[in-house]
């Protein structure tokens, strides 16, 4: 089968950010399929023409379209539309059996639907966020006309998809509320790449030795984007409370984004920067396993908004793959998983002072650390193993290509 895989923000392990599409696509290739990824090259480049690379057998077609999360919302929309228009023609030029398009942004539906109709082939759509609910909640879509158009685009994407994959049960509920058939919706979240994160403890020890401020102290780790929704400032507030109680816990936040300088300034003004709160720039994805190996507890953070509770954060699944207890500060299905499986600390609704006390107690409780680590690993193996989930996604795509998209829910119902 020949698959066109549309993802505007495709990453390889040599890049920073999530590599879900890379990991899924390379597994499709291993099963004998030909995969053509159509994506954007976000770094500055002299020419603005398409170029190709081969990534683990995946044919990747790159279009230079500069993008950072520091861009204004208007400039982001321009980048989305530029890619949508040019990728539509590229997708039409590659004769295939099926289109698989993954958001965000939702504008990826435009080239996906166009190419599917021109080639007369089915399209499977993947929902990574409940868009436009999320940008509306964050205040990015304030104009009533813009909101109307965004909702129409959402319905357009769903109406023209034979099957939809949602990255969480909550996202599936959101899709079904639009009238889309439940039987044609699968739930295949971001997943745990157990092999990738099963690394030698020596890598974690090397990571610690390279940071003289860390020593053998407990480490709370954040790796990811410093965006408006990511609420990394939460860790500064936590560091302030840990300092008050004399805890030896160190917090390390690794990444970048529009809020990086703001978080750094807040930590500096609060007197915790480079004392018990530390910051570093982005890591390549392939370097994240060493950082997690060094961590005592890993974190996934978001602003406490109802629209965020159905998210499917990569870092949550990476933590489980690494067998690390996970601390989260938001509600929703991940909060429920942490509580029901006792694989970390569910801090939703907990004050900073109480969270600091609980964290300080747990990191020195070796029995709890062992139990939570084991529970985290088991959850990854039983429910979120990337090899298993990639197989499910491929089965959904194959069934859609064969005219049986109504098997999607049966393949991956999203019950945990």
Give the DSSP per-residue string, 293-309: HH-SEEEE---S-GGGT
- Would 355 be classed as within a structural domain? yes
What is the C-alpha to C-alpha distance for residues 261 and 387, in angstroms, rounded to an integer? 38
The pLDDT confidence band at residue 101, using thresholds 50, 70 and 90, is very high
Q: Per-residue pLDDT tens for 376-406?
A: 999 999 999 999 999 999 999 999 999 999 9
How would you classify the pairing of strands 51-55 and 34-41?
unpaired
Q: Is the same domain home to 227 and 165? A: no
Structure pTM?
A: 0.95
Same domain, 253 and 298: yes
In this structure, are residues 92 and 119 in contact, taking their beta carbons and an 8 Å threshold? yes
Q: Considering its fold, how many domains does the chain have in total?
A: 2
Is residue 104 assigned to a domain? yes
30 and 115 co-located in one domain: yes
In a domain, 311, yes or no: yes
What's the pLDDT at 140? 75
Q: Write the pLDDT tens digit of every residue in 185-211.
A: 999 999 999 999 999 999 999 999 999
CA-wise closest residue to 222 among 105, 144, 301: 301
The C-alpha atoms of residue 203 and residue 351 are separated, in whole angstroms, by: 34
- Residue 267 in domain: yes
Percent of the chain at pLDDT > 90 equals 86
Mean pLDDT of the chain: 95
The per-residue pLDDT for 240 is: 98
Radius of gyration of the chain (CA): 21
Decide: 347 and 380 in contact? Cβ < 8 Å.
no
Do 141 and 275 fall into the same domain?
no
Contact yes or no for 326/320 (Cβ under 8 A): yes
**Structure confidence at residue 339 as a pLDDT band (50, 70, 90):** very high
Pairing of strands 123-127, 163-166: parallel
Q: Give a yes or no: residue 27 inside a domain.
A: yes
What does the pLDDT read at residue 353?
98
d(CA 410, CA 324): 31
Do 376 and 389 lie in a common domain?
A: no
pLDDT of residue 98: 98
Q: In this predicted structure, what is the pLDDT of residue 77?
A: 82
Partners of 61 in beta bridges: 38, 52
Write the DSSP symbol of residue 282. P
CATH code of the domain containing 374: 3.40.50.2000
Q: Let me know whether 106 and 144 are in one domain.
A: yes
407 shares its domain with 353: no
Say if residue 268 is exposed, middle or buried (CB neighbours under 10 Å; 0-12, 13-18, 19+): middle
CB distance 249 to 328 below 8 Å: no
| pLDDT at residue 329, rounded to an integer | 97
Does residue 416 sit within a domain? no
Considering the domain architecture, whether residues 187 and 296 belong to the same structural domain is answered as no
**Residue 75 located in a structural domain:** yes
State whether 39 and 112 are in the same domain.
yes
Whether 235 shows a pLDDT value over 80: the answer reads: yes
For residue 385 the two structure tokens come to 């193993």
3-class DSSP state for residue 332?
coil
Q: Are residues 33 and 106 in the same domain?
A: yes
Q: pLDDT digits over 120-168, tens only?
A: 999 999 999 877 777 777 777 788 888 888 899 999 999 999 999 999 9
Which of 241, 217, 191 lies closest to 356, judged by CA?
A: 241
Burial class (CB in 10 A: 0-12, 13-18, 19+), 344: buried
Give how far Cα 286 sits from Cα of 45, 255, 291, Å. Answer: 24, 14, 10
Is there a contact between 338 and 328 (Cβ–Cβ < 8 Å)? yes
- One domain for residues 180 and 251: no
Distance between CA atoms of 372 and 319, rounded to whole angstroms? 11
- Looking at residues 99-124, what average pLDDT do you find? 96
Evaluate if residue 72 carries a pLDDT over 90: no
pLDDT-based confidence at residue 119 (cuts at 50, 70, 90):
very high
| Residue with the larger pLDDT of the pair 68 and 22 | 22
- Would the pLDDT of 67 be above 90? no
Domain that residue 135 falls in:
2-191+385-411
- Is residue 254 domain-resident? yes
Tell me: do 403 and 350 sit in the same domain. Answer: no
């Amino acid at each position: 089968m020949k698959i066109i895989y549309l993802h505007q923000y495709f990453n390889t392990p040599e890049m920073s950010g999530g590599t879900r599409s890379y990991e899924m696509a390379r597994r499709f290739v291993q099963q004998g399929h030909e995969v053509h990824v159509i994506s954007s090259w976000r770094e500055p480049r002299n020419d603005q023409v398409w170029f190709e690379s081969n990534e683990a057998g995946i044919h990747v077609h790159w279009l230079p379209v500069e993008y950072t999360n520091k861009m204004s919302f208007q400039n982001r929309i321009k980048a989305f539309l530029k890619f949508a228009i040019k990728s539509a023609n590229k997708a039409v030029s590659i004769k295939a059996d099926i289109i698989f398009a993954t958001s965000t942004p939702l504008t990826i539906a435009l080239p996906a639907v166009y190419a599917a109709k021109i080639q007369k082939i089915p399209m499977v759509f993947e929902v990574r966020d409940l868009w436009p609910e999320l940008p509306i909640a964050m205040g990015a879509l304030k104009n009533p006309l813009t909101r109307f158009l965004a909702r129409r685009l959402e319905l357009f994407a769903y109406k023209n998809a034979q099957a939809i994959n949602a990255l969480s049960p909550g996202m599936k509920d959101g899709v079904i509320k639009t009238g889309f058939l439940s039987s044609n919706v699968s739930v295949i979240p971001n997943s745990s790449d157990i092999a990738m994160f099963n690394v030698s403890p020596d890598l974690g020890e090397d990571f610690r030795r390279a940071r003289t401020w860390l020593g053998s102290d407990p480490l709370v780790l954040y790796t990811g984007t410093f965006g408006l929704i990511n609420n990394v400032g939460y860790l500064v507030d936590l560091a302030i409370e840990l300092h008050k109680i004399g805890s030896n816990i160190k917090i390390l936040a690794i990444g970048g984004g529009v809020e990086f300088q703001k978080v750094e300034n807040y930590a500096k003004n609060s007197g915790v920067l480079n004392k018990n709160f530390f910051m570093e720039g982005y890591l390549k994805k392939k370097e994240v396993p060493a950082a997690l190996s060094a961590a005592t507890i890993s974190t996934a953070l978001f602003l406490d908004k109802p629209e965020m509770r159905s998210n499917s954060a990569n870092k949550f699944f990476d933590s489980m793959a690494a067998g690390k207890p996970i601390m989260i500060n938001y509600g929703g299905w991940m909060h429920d998983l942490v509580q029901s499986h006792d694989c970390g600390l569910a801090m939703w609704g907990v004050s900073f002072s109480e969270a600091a006390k609980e964290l300080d107690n747990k990191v020195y409780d070796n029995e709890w650390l062992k139990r939570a680590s084991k529970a985290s690993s088991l959850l990854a193996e039983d429910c979120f193993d990337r090899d298993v989930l990639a197989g499910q996604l491929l089965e959904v795509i194959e069934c859609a290509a064969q005219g049986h998209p109504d098997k999607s829910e049966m393949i991956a119902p999203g019950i945990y």
